[in-house]
Structure 1
Amino acid sequence: MKRELLNKNKMHVAKVFTLIIFLFLFVFILRLGYLCLTGKVDGIDLQSFANERNTKRETLYSLRGTIYDANEEVLAQTINSYTLIAYLDPSRSEGYETPQHVVDKELTAEKLSTVIDMSKEDILNILNKDAYQVEFGSAGRGLTELQKEAIENLGLYGIDFITTHRRYYPNNSFLSYVIGYTKTDDEGNMTGEMGIEKEYNEALTGTNGFVEYQKDLNGYKFPNSNEIRKEKVDGNDVYLTIDSNVQMSLETVVSNAVNASKSDWMIAVVADAKTGKILGSATSPTFDPNTKEIENYLNPLVSYTYEPGSVMKTYSFMATLENNPDFNPATATCLTGPYTIGEDTVSDWNDTGWGEITYQRGYTLSSNTCVANLVKNYLSRQVLMDYYKKLGFGSLTGIDLPNEYVGKVDFRYDVEVVNAAFGQGITTTPIQQIKALTAIANNGVLLNPYIVEKTVNSDTGEVTYKSEVKEGQRVASKSTIQTIKELMYQVVNGNQADTTGYKYRMDGYDLIGKTGTAQIANPKTGKYYTGSTDYVYSFAGMYPKDDPQVIIYVAMQRGYNYSTVLSEAVKTIVKDTAKYLEVFDETPELNKEVTEYKMANFKNKQTEEVKQTLNNLLATYVVFGNGTKIVDQYPNKGTKISTKDKVFVFTNDSVITMPDLTNYSVKDASVVLNKLNINYTCNATGYVQTQSIPAGTLISNDMEVVLN
C-alpha cells in the first residue's frame, strides 16, 4: 500500500516537472519566434544595440571662415592652438628605445621657462606631481605654432601637445570693435559675440561632418569594414571694405591723440565718398579680441549716441537753403549776441557775439545765436525735424554691424528747436554723421554706408554675396550743395579771425569741413556738465572740395589742448589717406625727385630675399627680429610709397626685444610697437627723443614703454 502511494507521488512529481519543462520550452520557443520575427527584446533592437556597441563615430570639425580686409589681409582666422602636456609615468616608456616620459625634471623646467610664461620653480612643482600626465595651466594653453616649434626644438623627453582650434586675430586690438570676437563652447563650437563675427555668424559658421565605422573590443577599426562618411563644410570667408593701411593710420592717430589729450574716448572714421564704403574706423579705448579684456561692449561707430554739437549747423543751413530759394548766406545778415527765448538765453562761445554779421560768417564762426536767427526767420520746427530725419538722423543706417542705435531726434518747444539746430538736445551716432556727409559729397544724394564687400565660399571660391552701392533719396539740390561746400571750405581755409577751423588748413588738399563742440549731459541730473573740458569735440569733413573722394569724421570726449590735437589728427589722416588711396595723381607735398613704387607682398617670404628686394628698390627699411621668414610688414602690399618712406618687416622670431626708437617719428614708432604688440604710452610730439626701456631688453606681456 505504501509502495503504491509512493509510486503515485513520484508519477505526480514527474508530471509536474514535465509540465514545467514543457511550459518553459513553449515560452522559449515563443520568445525565439518573436525575436526572429522582430529582432527586438523588451523593445530594444538587438541589431542596433550591437552596432552601437561596435560602432565608433568621430566628428569632423568644420573651420570658421576667415575675415579679410579689402587687400585680402587676414583680420581673423581659425588656427591650430596647442596645450602643453608632460608625461611623468616611467611605464609610458616601456617598449620604446627613447624615453617617452620626463626624465630630467630640473632641465625640463629650466628650458620650458624660457618659452612659456611660468617660472622654473612653478614648472618643477607641476613635474613633481604623482600623476601619469600633467598640464601647465593657462601658461601652457593656447600656444602658437611658433611657441610649439620653440618647445620642440628644446629636445625634451616626455613633452607633447594636444591640438585644438582657436580664433586668432593677428593684429590684436586693430579694428577690434568692428571685427568683434567669438565664444567657444565645451564642444569646441564658436559663436560670434560682437561685430562682424556676430553679424555674419551664420555665414562664417561651417557644418560639422562625421565618419562612422565598426570597431573591435580595443576600439580599433575592423580591416575592410564599411565606413559612413559625411564631409565637413567650412564656413564662408568674409571680405570687408576696410583698407588696413587706412586703418593703421587711424589706429596710430587715435592712440597718439588720446595720449596727448587724455580724452575719455575718441573715434576716427574714414569712408569712400563715392560708394559709402567704410575704409577705416578706430576707437579708444579698444581691446584685444585674443584676450577679451573688455571694459565697454558697445561699438562706438554704431552704438555711441551723444549730442553732436555744431557739425549739425551744416544741415540746418542745408534745410534753410532747400526751403528758402532766395536765402543767400553770403549777403543775408543776423544779429549775434545773447538771444532770449522765453526764460532761456542762447549765447555764443565768446559770450558777446560779433554784432551784425552775414550768415556765412556766422557759420564759419560757429555762432549759436546766428543759428537761432536762422530758425526764427527761415525754419519751422517741422521743417527742421523732417529734414534731419530725411538725412537719416533718428533711424538706422542699415550698416552691416550689430547693435546699431538710432539716437534721438525729438524737439517740441522753441528753445528745443534752436538747440537742435546747433546740435544740442538731440543725439546721433558717428555712422549717421558719415551717412549725412555722403549727401554733400554726391551733389545731394545720400548713400547707405556699408562695411562688408562680399562673402566667398572658402572651398570653391564662389562669391555667395556681393555688396552694391546703395543710393538713397535726393535730399538737396546741386546748387544747395555748392553753397554748403563753399561754407565748409571757408571754415577750413578762411581768415583766421573769421573761422573756428583755421587749424585744419592744408595747402594742396582742398579739405572742407565743420568743427563741432557739444556740451555733455549728466545722465543722473539731466543737466550739462560745466567743467572747462566737459565737451565732445568733433570735425566732419571731406576732400577735395570740387569732387570729394574721402569723408572723415573725428570726435573725442573731453581732452586738453583739443583744438591742436584734433586738427593735427585730421591733417595726418588726410595726408595718409591721400597717399594710400591715390586721391591725387601726385601727392601735393611730394618732392618730384623722390622715386615712388608700390609695396610688394613680403609675407611668408625668406628674410634674405626680402632684404635683397628692398635694397634693389633703394628703400629705407628696418628688419625686426632674427627669424628666417617674414610674417608681417608695413606698409601693406599695394600701398603707393616713396623711397623716403620707411618700410618695416617683421620676422618669425619668437623672442621679442625692445627696438631702438629714438629719432623715429611718433607715427612710425607707434606702428612698430603695435605690430610687435608692445604696450606703450607716447608723450612725444613729432619725434621720439627717449624711451623708458633700453633697446635690446627682452619684452614681457606686463611691460610698458614710455616714449618722450
Structure 2
Amino acid sequence: MKNPSPKKIHNYNKIRRNRVYFGIVLLMVVVGLFFIFLGRFSYIVASGKLNNINLKERTNLKYQQDRRLTAVRGTIYDANHNVIAEDSNVYNLYAVIDSKYVSNKNKPLYVKDKAHTAAVLSQYIPLSKAKIYGVLNNQDPNAFQVEFGNAGKNLSLEVKKEIEAKHLPGVYFTKSPSRLYPNGNFASHIVGLAQLDNSKKASNGTLVGVMGIESYFNKVLTGKNGVRRFKTDSYGYELPDSPVTTKKPKNGQNITLTLDSRLQSYMESTISDVYQQYAPVKMTATLMNAKTGKILAATQRPTFNPATKAGLDGSWQDALVQEAYEPGSVFKLLSLSAAIDSGHYTPNAYYQSGAVNVSGNVVRDWNYNGWGSIPFSQAFPRSSNVGFVKIEQQMGAKTWLDYLNRFGINKKTGITLPGEASGSLAFKRPLDQAITSFGQGVNVTVMQMMQAFSAVANNGKMVKPQIVSEISDPTTGKTTKTKTQVTGKPISKNTAISVRNAMKDVINQSYGTGQVYAIPGYDIGVKTGTAQIAQNGAYLAGDSNYIFSVVGMAPIDDPQYILYITMQQPQKMTKPAEQILASAFNPIMKRALEYNTDQKAPDVASITMPTLTGQALTEAETKLNQTGLTYGVVGSGDKVVQQLPLAKENVLAGQRTVLLTNGAMTMPDVKGWSKNDVLKLAEITGVKVKFKGDGYVVSQSIPANHILNTDSKLEILLSSQKTE
C-alpha cells in the first residue's frame, strides 16, 4: 500500500488542529454564555426585577382581580319622606338565533320555535306577535342574536322573572343600573333625570344626572365606588385561600325636597286637565310657603314622564328657572309697592284713563277707551296701564330702578336648580321706564317673581325660593338642613299690608279684574296679568296671543301660601282667560288651604290614600274596597308598581284610583270613567289621549286588555250620561 504524501499529512493535521481550536473556542463561548445567564438569573432572583419591571408586582397583577363595588346613588324624597327617585335595575331582552349555539349535550340554546316564542313575548312587551316573529326571522345569515328595540328595553325585574318562567330557549337578558321614578309625572323638570353615562371616560354602568336636582346635586348623589381585590388561578377562578382586600363603596347622599306629594300630585292632575282642555303653548304653576320660601308644588306644561320618557324630546328646559318672559300686569304688585313705600302714591287723586302719551308713543289701557276720570286707588284692581305709567312718572325712574334692584329683578335667586336665568331689563328711554311699571320691557323667571311676591306676603321680608329641605349622609348619619334665607326687605310692613288690601279689591270690588278667583269660605287676594308676546321686534296680535297669569295669596291678611300660574297662548280659548286660569287656581289654592288647620274648610268626606305601591295587587284591591275607593288596573301583573293618587293624599270618598302593575302594560276598560280618571291613566302610562265631548267615557279607541306603549294614541268619547 502506498504511503500518503507529506502534503496530505500536513493538510490532515491542519484540519484536525482547526477542529480542536474551534472546539476550544466553542466551549469557551458556551461556558461564557452560561456564566452570563447564571449571573443574569442570579441578578433577577436577587433583585426581583427584569428590565426595571418588578416581576412580583407583574405576577400579582396577572393573577389579581379587582371587582368594582358600585355605590348606590342617593334617594330623592318629598317633604313627607315619600320616595321620588331611587336606584333600581332594568333588564334588556335579546334572543339568540344562531342554530350553532348549543350546549355540550347538543341542547338548543337558540330560539328554536320562533312562532311560540313570539306568541309568549307579545304578552310581556309592547310588540305584536307578528312583529316579534319578524325580528326573530332576521335575514342576515351571520346574525348571532337580535334585539327588540325600545319594546325590549328597561324591563322590570318582575317582567324578567315572568318571561324566564316560560323557559323559552334562546331568550336572554342583560342587566343595567337604572333610576326608578315611581310617581311618574311628578315635578319632572325640578326632580330631573339620571341616565346611564355611556361616554368612554365614565365607569361602566354609572348613572349621571342630566336635568333638575339630579343634575345640580349629581356629585352629592353619586357617591364613590368601592373595590374588592382578590387572587385568581390561571383560569381566572378565585383562589380559596388568597387574601382579599375590600374598600367599601361610599353611597351617595339622600336629598329631601320641599315638595309635598299630596299637593304636587293634585296640582299635576289639575294642570293636566286644563292643559288638555285648552291646549296652551306653555303653562306653569308654582305654590310656595310665603313664610319660608319652600316650594310645596310646582309644574309646567309641556312636561315628561321620567319613568317612561314620554314627552322628553320636546321638553328639556325648566320653564321655572331657565325661561325668561315678560310678566305683564302681575308686575304691578311691585310698582304699587314701590310707589307706596317711596311715598309717591296718591290713592285719592284722579287721572284720565284710556291713553297716555310717553315721548311720542301712546300707551293704552286694556279697556281701549278707559273708564274716564278715576282715582289712582282703582288703577290696581282695574289693572290700568295708564294709571301705572303715571305712578311710575310720579316716582321717577331713579326711584323705580332702585326698587327693581331691591326686589331682585334682573338677578338670579340662587335656587338650587341648574341653568337659572337672570332675566333682562330695558330701562334707558322714558318709554322703557314707563312700560316696566306694568310688566313690559322686563324679562323675569318664575322664581324671581316668587321671591319678589314673598316681600308683599311676608310683611316686607323677601325670602329666597327653596326646593331642598335637607341633605343626609347615610354613611355618617349627618344631616344638613336648609334654613330660610331672607334676601332683603325691599318694603315696609305697612306697605305690604296696603298692597295686600289692594289685592283684596281685585276680587271684592265690582270693578276688579279677579272676581272669578273668589273661593267661598276663604279670604283671597290676587293680581291678574295679560302680557303681550314679543316676536321679531313686534308684539303679536290676536285674542289668545298673550301670556295670561294670576298670582294669589291666602289667607290674605296673613298669607301662608303664594300661588302663581302662567298660561301662554291657549289654542282652544273657548272661555275667557280668567275663567280658564280660575279652573286651576281655585282648586289648587283651596286644596292647600284645607291642609292649613287655621283655615279649615267645611267638613268634606275625605279619605287618606293608603300606600299601595310595592304590594300584591290582591292586597291593594282589598285595601281600596275597605276604604270605599273605586279603582282601575293597568297591566297584567300581580304587583302594584305605581299608583295615582299618591299615598297619604287626601281624596274624596268614591274617587277612582289607577294602579299600574308589573307585567305587560295593558289597557283597562274605562267606560264610565271621568275625564280626570282618564288623565290619571295618561299620566301613569305616558299614553297620548284625545277627548271628544264632556262628561264620562262611553267609548275608547283602544280595546280593553290591548297592549299599551308610550306611542299609543287613545281617543276617548265622553257623554254627560254616566255609564258603568
Compute the TM-score of the two structures, normalised by the length of structure 1: 0.91
Counterpart residue identity of residue 184, structure 1: L
- Number of the residue aligned with 2:666: 656
Match of 2:463 among 444, 447, 459: 447
Match of 2:412 among 381, 396, 404: 396
- Number of the residue aligned with 2:722: none
Closer/same/farther in 2, CA of residues 92 and 456 from structure 1, 3 Å limit: farther
In the alignment, structure 1 segments of 5+ residues that lack a partner are none
Please give the per-residue CA displacement for 1:49-103, whole angstroms capped at 9, x wherever unaligned. 222222222222222222222223322222111122335556633359x865544
CA distance in 2, matches of 1:623, 1:410: 53
CA distance in 2, matches of 1:647, 1:85: 35
CA distance in 1, matches of 2:495, 2:162: 65
Counterpart residue identity of residue 635, structure 1: P
Per the TM alignment, residue 429 of structure 1 is displaced from its structure 2 partner at its CA by 0.6
Match of 1:467 among 482, 492, 502: 482
Match of 2:609 among 590, 599, 605: 599
Match of 2:71 among 62, 73, 80: 62
SS of 1:264's equivalent in the other structure is: strand
- Number of the residue aligned with 1:457: 473
Closer/same/farther in 2, CA of residues 683 and 103 from structure 1, 3 Å limit: closer
Q: Is 2:196 the partner of 1:184?
A: yes
Counterpart residue identity of residue 149, structure 1: K
Counterpart residue identity of residue 601, structure 2: T
CA distance in 1, matches of 2:639, 2:565: 38
CA distance in 1, matches of 2:452, 2:32: 92
Please give the per-residue CA displacement for 1:355-387, whole angstroms capped at 9, x wherever unaligned. 22122211111001111121222x111111111
- Number of the residue aligned with 2:503: 488
CA distance in 2, matches of 1:655, 1:671: 15
- Number of the residue aligned with 1:575: 590
SS of 1:305's equivalent in the other structure is: coil
CA distance in 1, matches of 2:705, 2:101: 43
Q: Is 2:37 the partner of 1:28?
A: yes
Q: Is the 8 A contact 1:146 1:654 kept in 2?
A: no
Q: Is the 8 A contact 2:630 2:654 kept in 1?
A: no
CA distance in 1, matches of 2:139, 2:83: 38
Q: Is the 8 A contact 1:662 1:689 kept in 2?
A: yes
CA distance in 1, matches of 2:468, 2:607: 29
CA distance in 2, matches of 1:546, 1:691: 48
- Number of the residue aligned with 1:587: 601
CA distance in 2, matches of 1:388, 1:266: 25
Q: Is 2:425 the partner of 1:417?
A: no
Counterpart residue identity of residue 404, structure 2: Y
Match of 1:518 among 507, 531, 551: 531
- Number of the residue aligned with 1:268: 285
Q: Is 2:398 the partner of 1:382?
A: yes
Per the TM alignment, residue 482 of structure 1 is displaced from its structure 2 partner at its CA by 1.2
Closer/same/farther in 2, CA of residues 691 and 512 from structure 1, 3 Å limit: farther
Percent identical among aligned pairs is 30
Per the TM alignment, residue 345 of structure 1 is displaced from its structure 2 partner at its CA by 0.9
Task: Give the 5 Å matches for 1:160-309.
Answer: 160-186=172-198, 187-289=204-306, 290-291=308-309, 293-309=312-328
Closer/same/farther in 2, CA of residues 478 and 411 from structure 1, 3 Å limit: same
- Number of the residue aligned with 1:83: 92
Task: Give the 5 Å matches for 1:134-149.
Answer: 134-149=146-161
CA distance in 2, matches of 1:48, 1:134: 43
Task: Give the 5 Å matches for 1:69-148.
Answer: 69-87=78-96, 88-89=98-99, 92-95=102-105, 100-118=109-127, 119-126=131-138, 134-148=146-160
Q: Is the 8 A contact 1:661 1:669 kept in 2?
A: no
Counterpart residue identity of residue 445, structure 2: T
Q: Is the 8 A contact 2:412 2:421 kept in 1?
A: yes
Counterpart residue identity of residue 645, structure 2: P
CA distance in 1, matches of 2:661, 2:123: 19
Please give the per-residue CA displacement for 1:622-647, whole angstroms capped at 9, x wherever unaligned. 24257544333333333344535555
Counterpart residue identity of residue 48, structure 1: E
Structure 1 window deviating more from structure 2 (157-166 vs 269-278): it is 157-166
CA distance in 2, matches of 1:426, 1:23: 93
Counterpart residue identity of residue 300, structure 2: T
Closer/same/farther in 2, CA of residues 276 and 682 from structure 1, 3 Å limit: farther
Q: Is 2:69 the partner of 1:52?
A: no
Q: How many pairs are equivalent?
A: 691
- Number of the residue aligned with 1:356: 373
Match of 2:47 among 28, 32, 38: 38
CA distance in 2, matches of 1:633, 1:582: 25
Per the TM alignment, residue 336 of structure 1 is displaced from its structure 2 partner at its CA by 1.1
CA distance in 2, matches of 1:402, 1:217: 50
Per the TM alignment, residue 587 of structure 1 is displaced from its structure 2 partner at its CA by 2.0
CA distance in 1, matches of 2:713, 2:437: 45
Q: Is the 8 A contact 2:524 2:554 kept in 1?
A: yes
Per the TM alignment, residue 547 of structure 1 is displaced from its structure 2 partner at its CA by 1.7
- Number of the residue aligned with 1:316: 335
SS of 1:9's equivalent in the other structure is: helix
Q: Is the 8 A contact 1:105 1:127 kept in 2?
A: no
- Number of the residue aligned with 2:6: none
CA distance in 1, matches of 2:26, 2:404: 101
Q: Is 2:641 the partner of 1:631?
A: yes
Please give the per-residue CA displacement for 1:431-488, whole angstroms capped at 9, x wherever unaligned. 111111111221110111111112223456x244321111222222221111111110
Please give the per-residue CA displacement for 1:265-294, whole angstroms capped at 9, x wherever unaligned. 111111111211111111111123343732
Per the TM alignment, residue 251 of structure 1 is displaced from its structure 2 partner at its CA by 1.9
SS of 1:92's equivalent in the other structure is: coil
Closer/same/farther in 2, CA of residues 141 and 689 from structure 1, 3 Å limit: closer
CA RMSD of aligned residues (A): 2.6
SS of 2:337's equivalent in the other structure is: helix
Q: Is the 8 A contact 1:62 1:207 kept in 2?
A: yes
Q: Is the 8 A contact 1:308 1:516 kept in 2?
A: yes
Match of 1:698 among 701, 706, 718: 706
Structure 1 window deviating more from structure 2 (381-390 vs 76-85): it is 76-85
Closer/same/farther in 2, CA of residues 684 and 450 from structure 1, 3 Å limit: farther
CA distance in 2, matches of 1:602, 1:51: 52
CA distance in 2, matches of 1:129, 1:95: 24
CA distance in 2, matches of 1:668, 1:103: 44
In the alignment, structure 2 segments of 5+ residues that lack a partner are 1-8, 199-203, 719-724
Counterpart residue identity of residue 708, structure 2: S
Q: Is the 8 A contact 2:552 2:563 kept in 1?
A: yes
Please give the per-residue CA displacement for 1:488-521, whole angstroms capped at 9, x wherever unaligned. 01112221xx121122122112121100111111
Compute the TM-score of the two structures, normalised by the length of structure 2: 0.89
Counterpart residue identity of residue 88, structure 2: I
CA distance in 2, matches of 1:649, 1:182: 25
Counterpart residue identity of residue 177, structure 1: H
Q: Is 2:548 the partner of 1:537?
A: yes
CA distance in 2, matches of 1:552, 1:536: 16
Structure 1 window deviating more from structure 2 (81-90 vs 56-65): it is 81-90
Counterpart residue identity of residue 573, structure 1: I
Closer/same/farther in 2, CA of residues 529 and 27 from structure 1, 3 Å limit: same
CA distance in 2, matches of 1:693, 1:7: 109
Counterpart residue identity of residue 273, structure 1: A
Closer/same/farther in 2, CA of residues 629 and 191 from structure 1, 3 Å limit: closer
Q: Is 2:566 the partner of 1:555?
A: yes
